[in-house]
Structure formats: C-alpha cells, structure tokens
Structure 1
C-alpha cells in the first residue's frame, strides 16, 4: 500500500501538467466572440408555438456539426414555420474556440424574436436563420462595410492594406474560400497590415469569388482608417493594423481539414 502513494501522486501530477498545458494553449488562442453586428428581419413569426421549437432544433443540429467541422447548416419543419440555419467559424479558429464563438452567437441571435430571421456577425464566426432556403445566396441589400476607430493611417499602411486585401481575395478562391495574410509596412516600426477573408463553405468557388470581390471593394473604402470589416451575405473580410489572427493549428475550423 505504501508504494501506491507515490504512484497515485505521480498520476495526479501528470494529470495536472496535462491540464495546465491544455489551458495554456487555450489562453494563447482567441475565440473572438465579440459581436460586430446583429440584424433582424421585419417579418413576424407565423406560429410561435411551432417556429420556436423548430429554431431550437435547428440550432442543436448545427451545434453538433460545429464541434467537428466548424461549419453547420440544418433545416427543421415544414411550410411557413420551417427554419433554415447556417453557422461558420472563420478559418484561423481552433475547434475549441469555434465552439465558444458559436455558443455566444446562439445566445445573442434569439433577440430577434418575434421576427423569423436574423444574422449575427462576430469577429470569429457567423450565424444566420431564415424561414426560406438561403444557402446559395452570396450577396444582398444588407451587405456593408463597418469601419474601425478614427485612427488615420499614412499612405504606406494604406498601400500595404490594399495589397493584403486583394491578395487575400485571390488566395481564398484557391483555398476553399479561406485566406489570411500580412504585409509589412515598416520593419523598423514593427508595423504591418493583417487581413482575413472567409466565404461560407456552402458556396461554390464562383459565388465565393464574387462575394469577396464585392467585400474587398467595400472594405477598402474604410481606408485610411486603421481597421475595417466587410459583412456580406456570403463572406466576411477584415483588415487591421493589429495582429488579430490566431496561430494556425491542425484542426482549423472553416477549412474543413
């Protein structure tokens, strides 16, 4: 029995070290669960008694998919009370951070009740719910750019940001709709322009390209601001003078690897 004590202690110590290592990796990453924009539809739900359970069921189906792939879409119900849902995390999020971001989106989006549709853009993921099939849509009247703070950047940063954005569009189309990039402005000043581009994975390459081209055009209108985001029907894009990108890991979410 005396020999069992060191063994148990050793096992506990090993468990604690593994837990600490996992927590350290989690802290290093960022789920980017900050809400950028929520938009709700204008049409009231047809039948609350039916629509609400359908919405909840759709979100649960999507949740199961998000835990393994970082992307999910589902349909629940029939007729006017059918609920169509889609969610996706951006490509640099780990699956753990993706689950955290989706959990936040799932908490916020129901504020659109009693309207039967809504979208939420977070800095790490996107979610949409409708009462019709929207899965092939990549543009719409609600597409917009959201510009950052009032910090104005010089012409060197603007040129770097433009290069980063346009390169990301080209790279994303060839990389399953996802790209990230960095263009150095000044090595001496440790200044760079960072960019992320992501299409929803239900889109084909042609629709993805069209969405990102429109997004890049609108987001560059934010210059000379230090940051800008494009919130489009079928894609998301962001540039910044701050490195907001997570380190790439093997189980990145939106690339489906």
Structure 2
C-alpha cells in the first residue's frame, strides 16, 4: 500500500502561529488506522528497537533512518531535527517524540509526529526516497501584510532561493533573509528529509511553496507548510538559530 495513502487523518489544518519563536512544541500527528499490531507481537518489538535506534543515532548529525525486522514484521522509520537546533535540543526532541508516538499511536502500523524541532515517522511500508505530500498541515499568522502583492512576491522569491540551495546540500536545509525595504526583513527556512534526492527535495519544496495561497491567504506575515517529506517557514522576525 502506498505510504501517501497511509493515514486517514489527512485533513489539512490551518493553525494560528504565535508572533513569538516557539519552543520544541508538539505541532501535530497522524496515525495509520488501516492496520494495527497486537501487543507484544514481533512487529511491536521491531518498532521499539527501531525507535530506540532513531533516538540514539539522530542527534549525531540531525538525521537518521533505518528499519528493524524481517518480511511482514519489518518496520521502517526516520527522524529529522530542524537544521539549526543544537545536538542537545535534537536529542531531547527525538527522545520525546519516540516516547510520545507510542502513546499517540499505541497499536498503529504507521505514524508521523511533528515537533517544532524535529519530526519522527515510521511505517510498515518502505517509504524511503518517496515524496509524501499527502500528509501535511498548514500554520499561519493572524496578521495580514500591508502590501500583500509585494510581500508574497518577496516570500516566494526567498523560499524559492532557499529551496534551490537546500536541494544542493547534504543537509537538505537552508535558511536566509530577504530585505523588505527599510529596516524590515523577512526570514525563511526550508528543509527536506534526507532520504530524498536533491531533485526530489527541490520538487517537494516547490510544490509546497505553490500552496502559499492555501496556507497563508492573501498575505499573512508568517506561515508554514509542513509535509512529511519537506517543510518551509517564513516570518518577519528571526525565529531560527543564527538569524
């Protein structure tokens, strides 16, 4: 079964983002409900092994992926930390995510959990190297830009430039700024999961950027499109480390 069809809760949420940098908050999760596993089954043991490996391995470079088990009991997963967070922040976020996903999706054969600082995803299907744009949600600031047309053009320019950069980098992450005139600055961040090729990373981000109207209306001053395989965020204040 294709991973893009894994979740039944693929409704797109529009959530108000606060005009302050967020901590490592839990943002959203989806659980697979087309299949479940029995407690103490071999699949559950493999899942626990996989989650333990992801929790241990991810903080080293902000990303890890792998599988555990054989045949129908095999489970695949990955964990990704936001490209600007510290090793300690990454470690804490993934550790929390691997514990929380078992609570949120206790007997589900697949799940995705997003925090502000990391993402965790697992499935009974091999999803590595595939763009998953079906499982996503939006976040947008409540305030509109004063010059909507010019603001959104600047936003697209910044995010597209960052997408091109991220697609060429091993980290699949890029952040930067765009001058809005005077002392006003637009800050942006884009990232892909590292199982994607550079070409697919770029495609995933370009498709996400194309959803700016759905995400952010005429011109919200901050917003995000967060997908299972890639995401972007922009704000009129510095929200990432190093900004």
TM range (shorter): 0.7 to 0.9
Residue 157 of structure 1 and its aligned partner are, at CA, apart by 3.3
On the 8 A contact 1:32/1:122 being kept in 2, the answer is no
Structure 2 unmatched runs, 5+: 1-20
Residues 99 and 228 from structure 1, CA distance in 2 versus in 1: closer, same or farther, beyond 3 angstroms? same
Equivalence for 1:16: none
Question: What is the RMSD of the two structures over their aligned residues, measured on CA atoms?
Answer: 2.1
Residue 33 of structure 1 and its aligned partner are, at CA, apart by 1.6
Aligned residue runs from structure 1 range 57-206, under 5 A: 57-110=49-102, 111-144=104-137, 146-155=138-147, 156-176=150-170, 177-188=172-183, 191-206=184-199
Distance 1:133 1:197 in 2: 24
Of 15, 29, 34, the match for 2:25: 34
TM-score normalised by structure 1 residue count: 0.77
Of 186, 205, 208, the match for 1:212: 205
Residue 180 of structure 1 and its aligned partner are, at CA, apart by 0.5
Structure number with bigger Rg: 1
Distance 1:159 1:198 in 2: 20
Secondary structure of residue in 2 paired with 1:84: strand
Distance 2:235 2:22 in 1: 17
Residue 220 of structure 1 and its aligned partner are, at CA, apart by 5.1
In proportion to residue count, which structure has more helix?
Answer: 1
Encode CA deviations 1:186-236: one digit per residue, 9 max, x unaligned: 434xx3211111111111111111111111111354141122212223212
Residue 73 of structure 1 and its aligned partner are, at CA, apart by 1.1
Whether 1:49 aligns to 2:40 is yes
Residue 117 of structure 1 and its aligned partner are, at CA, apart by 0.8
Distance 1:147 1:67 in 2: 26
Distance 1:151 1:107 in 2: 35
Secondary structure of residue in 1 paired with 2:211: helix
Distance 2:238 2:22 in 1: 14
Residue 182 of structure 1 and its aligned partner are, at CA, apart by 0.9
Distance 1:238 1:95 in 2: 21
Residues 31 and 241 from structure 1, CA distance in 2 versus in 1: closer, same or farther, beyond 3 angstroms? closer
On the 8 A contact 1:179/1:198 being kept in 2, the answer is yes
Number of corresponding residues: 216
Distance 1:219 1:40 in 2: 26
On the 8 A contact 1:164/1:182 being kept in 2, the answer is yes
Spell out structure 1 runs of 4+ moving beyond 6 A. none
TM-score normalised by structure 2 residue count: 0.81
Whether 1:229 aligns to 2:224 is yes
Residue 31 of structure 1 and its aligned partner are, at CA, apart by 8.9
